[in-house]
Chains A and B, each alone.
Chain A
């Protein structure tokens, strides 16, 4: 078996062995179900605030917007153990002495946690899809929204992966990941510079702007590339960090 697959499978197995992952899945599902119900009942009752927006735009996009925020809050707790646990318990020595490259090791861990986020996204998607039983949905908009959620989780996982390799304390890793991802989410708020170029750069860095753009159904390659660049950057940083552990520890 490919070592990346073995590491990913082990990561996933260990994640689901603890009650933590199950509690997170259940809590997120419950919280989003409440939001879904509220959005749906509001849509059914009122006619004034809709302003020509359809069910998908109001209920589905609204739900996915909240899902993005919830993901931002829970991702650090899912990613905190990835490497910090290995560093704390010494199991990193098992991985570093095995015939596995550091790139394979990092990718295995990353894929493992991404499968968890995919399962979470699939559970979230079940709610809007259930509407298909009674009405029609804008499936293109739903697909774009789900892509936004997937890309957001790929960035959050990569940042969490890197930060967990910096500390052997999962709690410190979680808090640091939380701070970094929130900053990246709201960085555009601090944009009061007169310099237009700087404004463009800060706006481009904002995680929220790209996420919202994809949610609105505007599938722009600039947004997709942003998510890919940030994810790749943090994966590469994780590889460099683990390599540095061997040389500069």
Chain B
């Protein structure tokens, strides 16, 4: 069944002077989907999110939300968006109720509905007892909740959260994560983070962005079970030279664990554990252990972001 596409990002780029923060990024988000936006610091996550929300304009490319262009039909498109920036946009001199009511009015909730919308979003974010408190007196975790509450007060189709758990303690992180899981029942969520476990625990799909470019766009299911790359741990009594191991068809990378053990990364299309076992027995390497490993998100992330970083460092050193 084809789900309705709510957010469509087509070839967006964004330059800050000569620096390209986002480079030809395209993806889409369907209704009810939770999209994890991963990348190292400075990869272009926040810039991309701000472009989707209309806070920043793209240097090139288009963004449409619920079928409305974010520039040409900005008001209609923004009606469907709830945005929590990295730093919650709070007026700390207002009380929680005053602030949320103002946010509701900005999002054009009618006067008749504002009280029920306010009660609803406070209930969902666990702010029932904090309504009369000044925002400046709230803890960081509660301020983050107020930030999320302002993003959902108008029941938008898409909720965009930029690093919602940064700077929180472990208990607050768990609370915010469970809130995000609740949100995903009614809203499409785009979640940016550099915490991998957060994506693993709450997302349906993951995008990895590095140096402004999209380097991976896969569903969590396929990433966990059906990736192009796979790993296995091989233990050999008579290991050959590393170069010889690397010559095996499909092997892309080898980590030496100890004198006998190696973690071999290979392309699934070309190589399998059976082929590796066969090669080891033909060459008489004394294979005594072969444990296939599923490619974890962390491995994928490190491979996609670190390879590029090493490459950059090497080219900087050589130049």
B55 touches A97 (CB 8 A): yes
Docked CA distance A88–B49 (Å) = 19
A90 touches B89 (CB 8 A): yes
Question: What range describes how many residues of A lie at the interface?
Answer: 20 to 34
A249 touches B56 (CB 8 A): yes
Return chain A residues, CB-CB under 8 Å to B50: 93
Mask of A212-249 contacts with B, CB within 8 angstroms, 1/0: 00000000000000000000000000000000001101
B106 touches A6 (CB 8 A): yes
Interface residue B308 (Cβ < 8 Å from any Cβ of A) = no
**Contacts A99-B76, A246-B55, A249-B56 hold; do A91 and B102 have CB atoms under 8 A apart?**
no
B76 touches A93 (CB 8 A): no
B55 touches A100 (CB 8 A): no
Return chain A residues, CB-CB under 8 Å to B91: 10, 14, 89, 91
Interface residue B122 (Cβ < 8 Å from any Cβ of A) = no
Chain B residues bordering chain A, tally (CB within 8 A): 32
Return chain B residues, CB-CB under 8 Å to A91: 89-91
Which of B57, B79, B89 is close to A93, meaning CB atoms less than 8 Å apart? B89
A97 touches B54 (CB 8 A): yes
Docked CA distance A196–B92 (Å) = 54
**Contacts A14-B94, A93-B55, A94-B103 hold; do A101 and B74 have CB atoms under 8 A apart?**
yes
In the complex, which residues 64-81 of chain B have their Cβ closer than 8 Å to any Cβ of chain A?
74-76, 78-79, 81
Docked CA distance A79–B103 (Å) = 22
Return chain A residues, CB-CB under 8 Å to B108: 3, 99
What is the minimal beta-carbon distance from A107 to any residue of chain B, in angstroms? 14
What is the minimal beta-carbon distance from B255 to any residue of chain A, in angstroms? 42
Docked CA distance A4–B120 (Å) = 25
Interface pairs (20), CB distance under 8 Å? A3-B108, A6-B102, A6-B106, A13-B94, A13-B98, A14-B91, A89-B92, A93-B55, A94-B83, A94-B89, A94-B150, A95-B106, A99-B74, A99-B76, A99-B106, A100-B75, A101-B75, A246-B56, A246-B57, A249-B16
Q: Which 10 A-B pairs have the closest CB atoms?
A: A94-B89, A6-B105, A99-B78, A97-B53, A98-B106, A97-B83, A91-B89, A99-B75, A96-B55, A247-B57
